[in-house]
Amino acid sequence: EDPESADSLANIAAALDGAGYPDRALEFHRRVAKISLGSPWQAMQAIQAFLAADRNDEARDLLLELISDPRRRRDANYLLGAYSKPLVEKTGEKARVAKALEEDPEDVLAHRMAARICLHDRDYDGALAHHEAVLAFEPENLEVLNDKLAVLNQAKRWPDALETLDRMLPLADRRQGVNGLQTPTSPQSLRQQRARLLMRLEGVEAAEASLRDTVGLRYAQVNGSDFRYGSFRSEVPSDLMRMHRGLENWGRVLELHREFPPLSTSGSNSDVLEARFRTGEADAVLRELWESVAGGDLLLNDGLRSRTTLFGSAENLRYSNEPKALLFRFHGELGTLDELRAKVDAAVAKDPEDT
């Protein structure tokens, strides 16, 4: 491991903290923050270390230095999360930001921070005023539009949030086309947000139509197996499946599975199994799950050599979508765990090397 990497320096900082050398540890935290390009969570941890040590001015100065770095444009939204109310109150930020805006009314970062300060006080109109001030001279600033969207959602101004999303989508799509995934907001994430808003405002059908059509991509099948728009295949159908699963529209999940057959080999297969389980195919689903676990030797190869190892991790299995977890969960819902325990014992007994 590179001794000068962010991970190595973070480990040194943690060791120094544990050994009782907090000031020396903060030196390494600072170094971590400055080299952690593309890893905003590491920079955030470094800033939090200064705040925990009550060195608030240094935390603020480090945060400003990082956010002002043009190379960290995609990290800025995450890092602004450290611009908390306690930091603002302990460092006199209101006065500093007000002075910065007085000196330069087009200081984008000062406007974003002023909006955050307003948001701390639930002054939604004040925050939005700062966003609009920036958008007046930078109408395509996606980061500021995203800030505005967050405020509108928090204020529950759903129609305005939808209008802002519609403004953001072509900008996000264009940026992704130029920079790949190096964007602060992906088109897929915006589509999902738009669908949730439409579901709230207009219902499920409008939400589904939005997911299908928002960016103008169309699902197309060629020769039965080749598909245009590979990203659309992996994103929009999965989004649709996820939306209907959340609504427990199990029949619609199965319809989507038939409409988009490649999903049968994706991570959405667990959704299909659950939909079948809940629409009259419980016995068939349990049989298939058992065959995939025991018949594929996963029962033994995964270390499940006794009922103790299978059922001792029940809490860990509760939210998993692995076949063994689904098997456990579905039997539990049916009240047939004893039956599953007996099958496990019988399978283990067939293995002469089992201990």
- The letter for the amino acid at 282 is A
pLDDT for position 307: 47
Report in angstroms the alpha-carbon separations of 319 from 121, 270, 287, 307, 315: 37, 12, 21, 19, 8
Query: 72-93: per-residue pLDDT in tens?
Result: 776 777 788 778 888 888 888 8
Q: Which of 278-292, 293-307, 341-355 has the highest mean pLDDT?
A: 278-292
Over residues 153-169, mean pLDDT:
94
Give the contacts of 4 (CB within 8 A, at least 6 positions apart). 35
Report helix angle 108-120 to 56-68, nearest 10. Answer: 130
Percent of all residues in the chain with a pLDDT value above 90, rounded to a whole number: 30
Q: 235 pLDDT band (50/70/90 cuts)?
A: low
Helix axes 40-52, 56-68, angle to 10 degrees: 160
- Indicate whether 278 pLDDT > 90: yes
Q: What is the pLDDT of residues 199-210, one digit of tens each?
A: 889 888 888 887
Nearest to 96 by CA among 78, 81, 117: 117
DSSP 8-state secondary structure symbol assigned to residue 266: S
Residue holding tokens 């629409």? 279
What is the average pLDDT value for the chain, to the nearest integer?
79
pTM above 0.75, yes or no: no
Q: Is it the case that residue 145 has pLDDT exceeding 60?
A: yes
**pLDDT higher for 156 or 235?**
156
pLDDT digits (tens, 9 = 90+) for 52-73: 888 989 988 988 888 888 777 7
* Structure tokens belonging to residue 4: 């000068």
CA distance 306 to 319: 21
Residue 186 DSSP one-character state: -
Whether the predicted pLDDT of 216 surpasses 50? no
